[in-house]
Chain A
Amino acid sequence: MSEILKYIPRTLNIKKIVTVLSMFILFMTSGFPLFAQQQRFPKPEFESGYTQPVTSMPEARSEFFAIFDVFVLIFALSLISWLILKRRSRKGVLAVSVFSILYFGFFREGCICAVGSLQNVILALFQPEYSIPLSALAFFVIPLVYTLFFGRTFCAGVCPLGAIQDVLLLRPVTMKTWLQKVLGLIPYIYLGLSVLYAATATDFIICRYDPFVGIYRFDATFFMFSIGAVFLLLSAFVARPYCRFFCPYGVLLNWMSRFSKHHLTITPNKCIQCRLCEDSCPLGAINKPVPVKVMEDRPSATKRFIRLSLIIPLLMLLGGWTLSNFHENLAKVNSKVRLANELMSFNPDVMLPSVEIEAFKSAGTPVEELYSQAAIIIEQFYVGAWILGAFLGLVFGLTLSSLSVFKYREDYTPDKGECVSCARCLKYCPVEK
């Protein structure tokens, strides 16, 4: 017996061997993925008075700023609306722009912004399990309300995206009108796609392709950095490229601004048609006077307007039908649809499983459930594509019709929808108050 005892190693080594043995057994049996948390080894009882360290759980950023931001937004909007409409001061607008770049941009790192908040609102409307934070809802509604009364003063100097483009405008180059009109259709496409993807909980594409957030965070992927750099360089020569040709929230602001109660006027009093402000707008948003004798004769213009208006339903149907044919391609952005497609074409004999397929297999949900979820989402995309296509057809048709509308105008006025109230034109007007 004592001989055998000689060969039994000390307690420490027995524990070591037991651990190694159990690990070996587990390693052999771990052919299938195991549940991550299992108490395989009991919690030790410490004899030496060892105190266990506290699990670190760093605090999240203070919620105070989420509410404070809303108050700053209201204050900045009120201030800039007063500066534009009452004081008519470009310097004031510039000051508020710099403040917005510093506060909403660099300090709050450009997120959450009013442009992205529209996706949160859409997600909250269509997906029952998402609850929208109050600050996101506030950032969506408040600029729209102010625009409804005072015009696009939000764009002028409060929006951090607009402010940085505005401040960097050094040498404005005039753009051909037809190019402006064509590129002006892109925001509608962007808005429609953002709404579609947010409603189906697929992706927030405004956030994904936001060019300026990487600059405000001082940290960006290469892609984010590249598009940011492109937009900033472009802003030096083309006024506000993102605002004019991409911003989806700008479409909503455009609509609100058209019916605004008060709007920026170039002249503080009455326009005397001195033409000094004609080329003062870098965005090309000033409507020039159209004297009666230059106008087209009524009958032919009316006929064309009626003809165009009748083809609007046709354009809507055409648009809806065209886009609905592509609804599966649109749906492929959704991760569930992509995974379902991958699983259907997965052949275990010749292919290696991708990370997504492995993760799905280890989660243990039945494949049929995934397929039915994906089928529901594809159905949603079908309906969504019809609506989006019809919407784009309507926008295209209305744009064409608006080119045939009577434009008799005596004065130089800013276009109520397009003007971002940047107040650059004010100093060109010689009229005294």
Chain B
Amino acid sequence: MDDKGKNRREFINTCFRFAAGATLVGVTGVLAHKTVSGNTLWQIDTTKCTQCGRCATSCVMSPSAVKCIHVCDMCGYCDLCGGYLRPNVKNITTGAENQLCPTGAIKRKYVEDPFFEYEIIEDLCIGCGKCVKGCGAFGNGSLQLQVSHDLCVNCNQCAIARDCPSGAFSRVPADEPYKFSGFKKEKKA
């Protein structure tokens, strides 16, 4: 009886094990044609972004992995940069009270008459999007918020994506990690 009982139990055990294994194989099979070989990354669609400022506060990393990136191809090199200067400044100087950037991360450099080059100091940028808003409203929109992939830890569920009010965050394939809008970009730095 003992032996028979053991064999019966082992048989039932084996049956269930096969069933469980078959379920696993089934799930894998169903998902097989939906797999991508590489990882996906998170990126901001600049056409949807409304520069609400949550990129700076919602990221699990501090400072945020979202940075403002300057697409020089689109820049107008204006003297009165909409992304650098606040609107309605009294004296047009490079004083901190006139700059939109709260951390002073935009560097302005004279090129030639009347063009100025604007460069973003990445270490100071917190991804608040104020310059992006200004540039988009008064300029060419060459300053764009993007997830910087050397900082982003690529969470399974992006915390900023959850808080984005315009749904600008989406998963992109790893071979197209950036979604700038405007002109064609040059090669990576």
Contacts and interface: CB of A to CB of B under 8 A. Distances in A.
Contacts of A52: 72-73
B136 A23 contact: no
B78 A41 contact: yes
A217 B153 contact: yes
Contacts of B54: 355
Contacts, number: 228
A202 to B, nearest CB: 9
Interface string A29-71: 0100111111111111011101011111111110100100000
A125 B50 contact: no
A165 interface: no
A359 B50 contact: yes
B96 interface: no
B188 A59 contact: yes
A359 B165 contact: yes
A144 B25 CA distance: 11
Given A37-B140, A40-B76, 17 more contacts: A23-B82, A26-B137, A26-B138, A37-B74, A37-B182, A38-B140, A43-B76, A44-B77, A53-B72, A56-B189, A60-B149, A60-B174, A61-B154, A335-B162, A355-B52, A355-B54, A363-B166
Contacts of A335: 162, 167
Contacts of A111: 153-156
B20 A255 contact: yes
B70 A55 contact: yes
Interface in B25-81: 27-28, 30-31, 34-41, 46-50, 52, 54, 60-62, 69-80
A41 B139 contact: yes
12 contacts: A33-B50, A35-B47, A44-B115, A47-B112, A52-B72, A56-B122, A59-B188, A130-B171, A132-B35, A137-B31, A359-B166, A362-B50
Q: Is the interface of B mostly helix, strand, loop or mixed?
A: loop
Most buried by B among A41, A120, A208: A41
Interface of A: 12, 15-16, 19-20, 23, 26-27, 30, 33-44, 46-48, 50, 52-61, 63, 66, 109, 111-112, 116, 119-121, 124-125, 130-137, 141, 144-145, 148, 203-204, 207-208, 214, 217, 219-221, 224, 255-256, 258-261, 335, 355-356, 358-360, 362-363
Interface string B119-160: 100100000000010001111111010001111111111010
Nearest to B54: A355
A133 B36 contact: yes
Contact of B112 (A48, A208, A356): A48
Contact of B140 (A41, A50, A137): A41
**For this complex, into which size category does the number of interface residues on chain B fall?**
35 or more
A60 B47 CA distance: 22
Contacts of A30: 137
A198 to B, nearest CB: 9
B66 to A, nearest CB: 12
Interface of B: 13-14, 16-17, 20-21, 24, 27-28, 30-31, 34-41, 46-50, 52, 54, 60-62, 69-80, 82, 87, 111-115, 117, 119, 122, 132, 136-142, 144, 148-157, 159, 162, 165-167, 171, 174, 177-178, 180-182, 185-189
Given A19-B78, A36-B47, A41-B78, A133 B165 contact: no
Given A50-B111, A56-B69, A219-B60, A41 B76 contact: yes
Contacts of A26: 137-138
A260 B17 contact: yes
A256 B181 CA distance: 49
A134 B140 contact: no
A338 B1 CA distance: 62
B136 A37 contact: yes
A415 B31 CA distance: 33
B89 to A, nearest CB: 11
A23 B84 CA distance: 14
A35 B144 CA distance: 13
Given A36-B136, A144-B24, A44 B34 contact: no
A23 B14 CA distance: 77
Contacts of B82: 23
A40 B156 contact: no
Contacts of B151: 58
Contacts of A57: 69, 177-178, 185, 188-189
